[in-house]
Amino acid sequence: MTYRAAVVLAAVLLYAPAHAQSPPPSSSSPRPPAAAGLDPRIEKLVASISEQRLRQLLEKLVSFGTRNTLSDASSPTRGIGAARQWIFDELKRTSPRLQVSFDTYTIPQGRRITREVELRNVMAVLPGKSPRRIYVSGHYDSMNLGARGQLAGNTREPADGRGAPQEVVRPGAEAQAPGEPAAPAADPQQRPNQDYDIDAPGANDDGSGTVLSMELARVFAESGIEFDATLVFMTVAGEEQGLVGAGAYARKARAENVPIQAWFNNDIVGGSVGGDGITDGASIRLYSIGPEDSPSRSLAQFTRRIAAQYVPSHRVRLLARSDRFSRGGDHSALNAQGFAAIGFRESRENYSKQHGPDDTIDGVDFRYLSQNARVNAAAMATLALAPPPPGVTTATGMPTIDRRPSGYDAHLRWTASQGAAGYRVFWRNAWAPEWEHELYVGNVTEYVFPHANIDDWVFGVASVDAA
């Protein structure tokens, strides 16, 4: 029997701050733990992603002219209404295994919503054996600010660190210090006589993330694999008006206690050539909100580790911030509700094409987009096939670790995970950013590192299945 490490090292459930003297000393250049072996099912799934289908999907999506949240919703051929109906129908056609629905909200008039509007996210659910959910998303709405395009209209990185979208920032505006009043900014969504029905192709922002999510829905549904986790493929609306669709869903999910284990958001992930002419088709940026052992930060580390195994030619660049400078994305709305959510961004952006008429399909590198899809697929599949994570905290949130039996040991305890064949303990020096060591400890629910100081080390526990 062989064992496959099967749990995200990214959830707070897996983390217990601790220390040890007996674990091996850390190296000067810590590396992620070694792979436990590749799963042929995941290898096949990752290889099934099609550049051609990504192109076909994006060509159709762009053909609707505009997908502005406030554009015409009644035309069968143009505008956001036609686009969302096509996404719904396409996902429905993909596989009978997918449960496709609209996630609908009535959004009142506000600062960036200039009239009451019906907003619809499109969801495709692939049921698993357990209720825990893993999401992948992209936003299908688009925007054309004309000459005012580029960086205008984005939310700034929150000063409070909680992932809540804050005020609009003008192009080139400096971020103010926490607590400092913001300079007034004219909202580009409230320009007099703005035409929301003008062309806004949004091929890269965020047609790329939308078709990535749709292609993963096909690949996972057609794989024939019965996953432990339930998988949700979501295309979101209202992102350009301030994360409206993602925020509405996140608040509902929190109120209804939806068991979201992980959320992979993809926004502007199709371009390999930056506005400065620099090309990078071999890496993807991955943003995650802190602190260092937050569920989101841990999910990002897990994703890089898995991507290195299944997509070794494509580098995941971890960035320890919620998103790009003075900008935000739908994952931030999930972070604000306490969910583990991370954001993928292409490595080299072309700001001049964003939020304008020039965000066309010729700016998308489909080989690069397919590699980014494979990174998402590998991490999602590994999580979805895994047993649930073990519990390592009490009902009050305290880590289940102590100094017994001698008073100078590291005594780790956890609750059993249904379906787990055993457990693997990871640890690192409390200063190190990533796991440095790992040890398979068998099918037990406690382990002792003798003569260990739990003030100097951080421990994690992962459930593993038999493969």
Name which of 278, 274, 253 is nearest 263 in CA terms: 253
Instruction: Please give the pLDDT value at position 31.
Output: 42
The answer for residues whose C-beta is within 8 angstroms of residue 291's C-beta and 6 or more apart is 297
Instruction: Please give the pLDDT value at position 1.
Output: 31
The answer for residues whose C-beta is within 8 angstroms of residue 281's C-beta and 6 or more apart is 272, 365, 367, 368, 371
| Under-50 pLDDT residues of the chain | 1-35, 147-186, 188-189, 192
CATH code 2.60.40 for 3-37+388-466: yes
From residue 262, how far is each of 49, 259, 274, 330 by CA, in Å?
A: 21, 9, 29, 13
Instruction: Please give the pLDDT value at position 15.
Output: 33
Q: What's the CA gap between 161 and 246, in Å, rounded?
A: 18
Residue with the two structure tokens 């051609």: 52
Instruction: Please give the pLDDT value at position 159.
Output: 34
Domain boundaries defined on the chain: 3-37+388-466, 40-175+183-385
CATH code 3.30.1490.20 for 40-175+183-385: no
From residue 431, how far is each of 18, 238, 329, 457 by CA, in Å?
A: 12, 40, 29, 8
Name which of 268, 282, 341, 357 is nearest 315 in CA terms: 282
Residue type, 75: S
- Residue 385 CB coordination number (10 Å): 21
Name which of 360, 361, 313, 316 is nearest 342 in CA terms: 316
Residue with the two structure tokens 């992962």: 462
Instruction: Please give the pLDDT value at position 193.
Output: 56
Instruction: Please give the pLDDT value at position 444.
Output: 97
Instruction: Please give the pLDDT value at position 160.
Output: 35
- pLDDT per residue as tens digits for the range 405-414: 999 999 999 9
Same CATH fold, 40-175+183-385 and 3-37+388-466?
no
Whether the CB-CB separation of 443 and 423 falls below 8 Å is answered with yes
Backbone dihedral angles phi then psi of residue 244, each to the nearest 5 degrees = -65, -50
Beta-strand pair 315-319/283-287? parallel
Q: What is the DSSP letter of 293?
A: T
Residue with the two structure tokens 């490595």: 347
Instruction: Please give the pLDDT value at position 169.
Output: 31
- pLDDT per residue as tens digits for the range 15-38: 333 333 344 443 333 344 444 589
